[in-house]
Amino acid sequence: MSRTSDPKKISAVLGDMCYSLGFDEAYKQYKTLQIWDTVAGETIANATSIERFTNGQLFIKVKNPSWRMELNFRKKDILTKLNQALKSQMVKDIIFK
């Protein structure tokens, strides 16, 4: 086994493997959950937790009603950032609970 001068991260290898096995949709959903903290930002991430992601809908649990109202105002921006980070229109809607 020879070494390469350009090693890949394990996440990239797993992503390639998922695509080749036909699990690309599941991988995109997993990636959506992984990037939430980065896309939403530290403050929002601390006030939220992900419940689930099904049928293009991302369900986010929010600490209190005032945060829920604030996030509903920002929903369009957050949705745009998520889809840009994913490089696809994977997330159709975000439901804050």
Assigned domain for 2 exists:
no
Instruction: Give the pTM.
Output: 0.72
- R_g of the chain computed on alpha carbons: 16
pLDDT per residue, tens digit, the chain (97 aa), is 566 667 777 766 766 776 677 666 777 777 777 788 888 888 988 999 988 888 889 999 999 999 999 999 999 999 999 889 888 888 899 999 9
Tell me which amino acid residue 4 is. Answer: T
Q: Which domain holds residue 76?
A: 10-96
In CATH, what number is assigned to the domain containing residue 66?
3.30.300.180
Assigned domain for 88 exists:
yes
Assigned domain for 35 exists:
yes
Total domains present in the chain: 1
Distance CA 84, CA 96 (A): 20
Assigned domain for 72 exists:
yes
Q: In what order do the strands lie in the sheet with 57-62?
A: 48-54, 57-62, 93-96
Contact 82, 91 (CB under 8 A): yes
* Token pair for 42: 């530290």
Assigned domain for 39 exists:
yes
